Structure 1
Amino acid sequence: MLKSGALLPPVSKICSRLAQAGALWYDESKGLCTCVCRRRSYAFFGGLSMKKWLSVILSIVMLSTVLGSGASFAFAATAATSGSCGDNIKYNIDTGTGVLTLTGSGATNNYSNMNVNFGSSIKRCPWYNSRDSIKRVVISEGVTVLGNYLFFEMTSVQTVILPSTVTGVNRYAFAGCTALSTVNLQDTKITKIGLNAFEDDAKFTTLRLPETLTEIGDFAFRKAGINSVTFPKECAKIGISAFAGCKFVTITLPEKITSVGTTAFSDNSFLLDVFVENPNLNYGTLDPFANCQSSLTFHASSGSTTQAYAEKKGYKFVASDSGCDHAETYTVVTQEPTCTAKGKQDVYCSKCLKYLRTEDIAATGHDLQVIQTDDQSEKNGHIFEYLRCAKCNDESTDTIRTTHVRDEDGNYVWKDGCYTDMVLTGPGCTTTGRLIRRCSVEEPTKNSKCTALQYINIPAPGHTVKEWTVVVPATCTTDGQKTGVCTACHQSIAESIPAGHDYQCTEGETDATGHRIDTYVCSVCNDTYTTQVHVEWVDGYYDTRVIAKASCLMTGSSIDTCRYCKTTRTNVVPAYGHDFKFSGCDGTNCTYTCSRCATTRTNTLSNVASYFFDNMGRTADKLLGYYYDVNNDGYVNLRDYVLIQRFQAGIGLTQPEPETPETPKTTG
C-alpha cells in the first residue's frame, strides 16, 4: 500500500516496469502503452490526463501485485443492452432484431482491445460481449466521430448505417468485422479514415468514399475484400499499406493525390490498370505496388513520375496525353558524371522527339589502380601496393593495400619481430597448447596495422627426466626398463631400454673379384655374422649395359652390374665432339665433313685466308682447326696456306683421303 503523501514514480517509469514484466508495451517516444494480452497489440491511453493516467497505472500496479507477473487480466463482464458510449451519446441493443443503435451528438468514447475494465477511459466497447448477436448497426444524425475500437471484432455485423454528420473514423473502429459488407461512407462528411479502421473486413467489396475525404490512414483497408473504389477528387494522401491485399482490377488516382504510401497497393494480385492524373505523384522510396502482376499497366501523361516509376519497375506504360507512347527514347548527356558527383542527361522520345524528363547519371566511382608496389615479403612478410584513381588521378584517393603473404599451404608467413603471441592454453608434457598470433606490422603511412591473425598449436614438449634409474638392464636380445620422474609435471615415467648387440668388425682380405668378407662378433654374447663387401670394380667381373650411346654432341650413359654381389654403378660417356676433315673445294668454298656423323660445314676461301695467320698452330682446337688444316695432316702451317692460295688461284688439287678417326673408349 502507498502511504499518505508518498511520491509516485513518473508514469514513464511505471510503464517501463510493466513493460519489463510483460504486461504492457510502452513507447516512450510517443507516450503510448500497448496491452499484449491478445493476439495483436493495439495502442491505448493516448491523450489521457495525468490524473487519469495515475488512476489507470495504480489500478494495474495493484492488480499486478495481487495476481503476479503471470496473471491473466480476465474479468467477467455483464452484457448491458443499453447505456452511454459518449458524453452525449446513448446506445441500445434490440436483442430480438440484433440491431445496435447509437443516438445523440458529438464524438463517441475511445475504447481499447483490452478484456479488462479499469474505468471509463480504459475498456472495451460496452456491447463487446454481445457482439455475436448484433447483425446491424444504426448511428443516428448528430454523431460526429466514431472512436477507437468502437466496433472492433464485431464479427456478426453485416450492415452499418452512418449519419451524414460523421466527420471522422478513428483507428480500428471497424477492424475485424469479417461479415461487414455494406457501409454508406459516401453519405457522410468524413475527412480522414484512421489507421487500420477497416482492416480484415473480408466481405467489404465495394468502397464508395465521400467527396470530403482528404486522407486515408495507414493500413486503413488492409486485407479487406474491396475490388472497386472511387477516390474523391479532394483526396490528397493514401497511407502505408492502406489497400494492401485487396482485390482491385483497376484504380484511378485523381490529380490531388500527391503521394501514395509504402506498399499502399501491394499484393493486389488481380490489378491490371492504374490511371494516374497527377504528373508529379510521389511514389516514395519503397514500392507502393509490390507483388502485383508483372503485366500491370500504368496510364499517365508522358514525362510524368508515373512513367519513370513504371519504366524503373518494368511495368507497361501508356501515355494518356498524346498518340505517342514514348516507348522508345534516347538521351543527351548535359553534364558528365565524375568519380564522386552525379551527372545529368535529358531524355527524349525517339518517335516524336519530345523532351520527356531529366535524369541523374550515377557517379562513376573511383577506379583504383596500382601505381607502385613495395615488396617487403622477405623483411616482414608483406606486400604494400599504392593505389590511385586511374580516372581522376586525385591524390586524395591514394590508399595502400596491404597483403600479408601466405605460404603454399595457405598459412600466413610470419617473420621474427613482426607479430605478437597470446597463449590461450599452455602445452602440457603430452598435450598441445594453443596460441593466437597477431600481426604487428604497420602500413608505411602508419595509419593502420595489418589485421592478420592465426591460431597456432603449441607442440607438446614431452616429459623431461634428468635422472633415470635402471630397473631391468637390457641384454643383447631382451629389452630392459628404466624409471624416472618428470621435472615438469612430476609424473613417474617408465621407458624401455632397447635390446641390442655390441658388434665389433674384422675386415677380410680383398680377393681377385674385388670383394672381401667382413666378420662381426658381439663383444657381449659372441654372436657372429659375416657380410660380403664390394671393394672395387675388376674388369671381367661385371657386365656393362649401354643405356644411351654417346654421339658427337650428346653424352651417353651405361650401367655396370657386379656378377657376384649385384652392386651397380652408372657411367657417363662424354660427347665425342665433331671430327671434321677436309673433303673438297670448289674454288670458292672449302667443305669439311665429320668423320663420325657425316655432318658437313663450309667456309669461303677469302675468310680462311684472312684469318689464317691468326690461327696457325691451334691444331688442337677442333672448332677452328677444321677451317685451316686443309691437307688433313693434323697441323695448320704454311703447307695449308699454300694450298689455300692455289685454290684461290684456280689451280686444282687432288682431294686427300680422309683419315679414319679413332673411336673413343667407353670407360666405366
Structure 2
Amino acid sequence: MRKLIYGITAAIMLFGTAYTPADVNFFDAVISADAAEAAEYTEDGFGCVNTGDGVRIVSYTGTDTDLVLPSVIRGRDVTSIAPYCFEFNNTLRHVTISDSIKDIGDHAFFGCRGLISADIPTGVTSIGNSCFWGCTKLEKVHIPDSVTVLGPLVFSGCTALTDVALPSGLEVLPDYTFNSCRSLSDVTIPESVTEIRYKCFTDCTSLKTLRIPKDAKIADHAVGFYTEGSSCKLTEGFTMYVYHGSPAEEYAVRSGVPHLCADAVAGDVNADGTVNVNDIVLIAAHIKGIAPMDTGSAARADVNGDDHVTVTDLSMTAAHVKGKKSL
C-alpha cells in the first residue's frame, strides 16, 4: 500500500490534475511495486541481503550527507542497489557508487530532494525505472558508457539538472526520461540510439537545440514540446538538428517542430547530392514568395550563413553552378 500511495503521489506532483489516464500505462511499475525488500543484516547503516553473486544493499539508516557506498561488505562484493533503497532520503547531498555495483534498482533514489550529485562508475549496466525521479536539486550525474539500459522516468522532474552526456552504447531513451527537466540545456545523444520514446524531453523548456541520431525513431511529443494543461505545445525557440531523409526529419515535419539538417550541404537545396540549376530555381522561387522553403531547405540555401535566404545566396549559388566561384 505504501508504494501505491507513493506512485499516485508522484504522478500528481509531476503532472498535476491534468494528467490523463492515457499517460499512465507505463507507471505500472510505480503503482504496483512490491514492498521494499527486508534486510538480512545491517552493516554501518546499510541493510544488506546476500545474493548468489554478492551483496545487495536494500536500505540505509545512516545520516551521511556525502555518502560513499562500500564495494565490499563482510568479505563479499556489493553488486546491486535494491529498488526503493534510498527513496525520500532528504539528507543525502552527494553519493558515490562503488565500482563493484552493476545494477541500480527501480526508484533507488526516488524523491531524494537534497541530492546534488551522483557519481555512477564504469561497470553499472542498468539504471532502473524512476531511479532519480524528483531529485529536484540534482545538478550533475555521470552516466558511464557501460550503462546500456535506462528505465522510464529515470531523471523525470530533476529540475536543476543542466547537462547530460548519454552513454555511447545506449539504444533506447524510454518514456519520460528527462520529462520536466526544466534547467536542462545541453544533451549529447549518441548515434547508437534508435528510439526516443513518448514525452522523453517534454517540458525541457531550457533545451533549445538537440541533435538527433540518424536512425533514431521519435515517438509523439517526445522532442520539442511542453505541456499546458492537458495539451502539448511547441517549445518556443527550439530547433532539432536532423539528418536528411531520417526518421527524425519525418517526425519534425509531421509534428511541426523547427529543424535543420545536420548533414546540410551549402547550396544543395533539394538535397539530391549536387548543387545545380534546380537549386537556383528553388532559391529564386523562395525569394519571390512563390514556393517558400522548409527550414531544412532554407538552411542549405543560406550559403553565406547569415540566417536569411536572399539574392546574395542566389548569386553565390549561380556563380558556383557556372564554375566561376565555388561555395
Instruction: State TM-score, norm by structure 1.
Output: 0.32
Letter of the structure 1 residue corresponding to residue 46 of structure 2: S
Residues 1:210 and 2:172 are matched in the alignment:
no
Q: How many residues align?
A: 240
The Cα of 1:86 is off from its aligned counterpart by 7.3
Post-superposition Cα deviations, 1:604-646, rounded to whole Å, max 9, x if no partner, equal: xxxxxxxxxxxxxxxxxxxxxxxxxxxxxxxxxxxxxxxxxxx
- CA displacement 1:349-379 (0-9 Å, x = unmatched): xx99xxxxxxxxxxxxxxxxxxxxxxxxxxx
The code of the aligned residue for 1:169 comes to: I
Is the 1:35–1:43 contact (alpha carbons within 8 Å) kept by the matching residues of 2? Answer: no
Identical aligned residues as a percent: 17
Q: Which residue does 2:322 correspond to in 1?
A: none
Shift of 1:164: 0.5
Picking from 177, 195, 217, the partner of 1:220 is 177
Change in 2 beyond 3 A, CA 1:147/1:284: farther
Q: 1:135 aligns with which of 93, 104, 113?
A: 93
Residue in 2 aligned with 1:319?
297
1:178/1:279 Cα in 2 relative to 1: closer, same or farther (>3 Å)? Answer: same
- Aligned to 2:295, the other structure's residue is in SS state strand
Please list the CA deviations of residues 516-555 of structure 1 after superposition, one character each: whole Å capped at 9, or x if unmatched: xxxxxxxxxxxxxxxxxxxxxxxxxxxxxxxxxxxxxxxx
> How far off its partner does 1:199 sit?
0.3
1:171 alignment partner AA: N
2:67 matched residue in structure 1: 99
Given that residues 139 and 160 in structure 2 are in contact (C-alpha distance below 8 angstroms), is that contact kept between their aligned partners in structure 1?
A: yes
Offset of 1:303 from its aligned partner? 5.7
Indicate if the aligned counterparts of 2:261 and 2:299 stay in contact, CA closer than 8 A: no
Return closer, same or farther for 1:45/1:276 CA change in 2, 3 Å cut-off.
Answer: closer
User: What's the CA shift for 1:95?
Assistant: 2.7
Task: Find runs of 4+ consecutive structure 1 residues off by over 6 angstroms.
Answer: 45-48, 283-288
The question of 1:182 aligning with 2:167 is answered: no
Change beyond 3 A, Cα 1:288–1:211: farther
Equivalent position of 1:199 in the other structure: 156
Indicate how the Cα distance of structure 1 residues 324 and 210 shifts in structure 2: closer, same or farther if over 3 A, else same: same
Q: CA deviation at 1:133?
A: 1.1
1:269 counterpart residue number? 235
Structure 1 residue 156 displacement after superposition: 0.4
Q: More strand by proportion, 1 or 2?
A: 1
2:90 is paired with a residue whose SS is helix
Structure ranking higher in helix proportion: 2
Partner of 2:128: 170
Structure 1: which 5+ residue stretches go unaligned? Answer: 1-22, 25-33, 57-77, 112-123, 305-313, 329-350, 353-668
Across the aligned residues of Structure 1 and Structure 2, the Cα RMSD in angstroms comes to: 4.0
Q: Report the TM-score, using the length of structure 2 for normalisation.
A: 0.61
Taking the aligned partners of 1:288 and 1:81, their CA distance within structure 2 comes to 53
Amino acid at match of 1:214: E
| Matched ranges for 1:438-457 at <5 A | none
In structure 2, the residue matched to 1:253 is: 212
Q: Is the 8 A contact 1:102 1:138 kept in 2?
A: no
Displacement after TM superposition at 1:106 (Å)? 3.7
The 3-state SS of whatever aligns with 2:47 is strand
Task: List aligned pairs for 1:11-410, cutoff 5 A.
Answer: 35-36=4-5, 38-40=8-10, 42-44=27-29, 81-84=45-48, 87=51, 88-90=55-57, 95-99=63-67, 101=69, 103=71, 104-109=77-82, 111=83, 124-125=84-85, 127-128=86-87, 131-185=89-143, 187-224=144-181, 225-246=183-204, 247-257=206-216, 259-265=217-223, 266-267=225-226, 269-277=235-243, 279-281=245-247, 296-299=258-261, 316-319=294-297, 323=301
Shift of 1:195: 0.7
Counterpart in the other structure of 1:61? none
Letter in 1 for 2:243: E
1:174-209 CA deviation, whole Å, 9 max, x = no partner?
100000001011x33112321111000000011111
1:611 corresponds in structure 2 to: none
Q: Distance in 2 between matches of 1:166 and 1:299?
A: 35
Q: Say which SS state the counterpart of residue 143 (structure 1) adopts.
A: coil
- How far, CA to CA, are the matches of 2:218 and 2:93 in structure 1? 35
Change beyond 3 A, Cα 1:323–1:182? same
CA positional deviation for 1:287: 8.3
**CA–CA distance in structure 1, aligned partners of residues 293 and 301 of structure 2:** 19
| Structure 2 spans left out of the alignment, 5+ residues | 12-26, 36-41, 72-76, 227-233, 272-291, 310-316, 319-327
Partner AA of 1:274 in structure 2: M
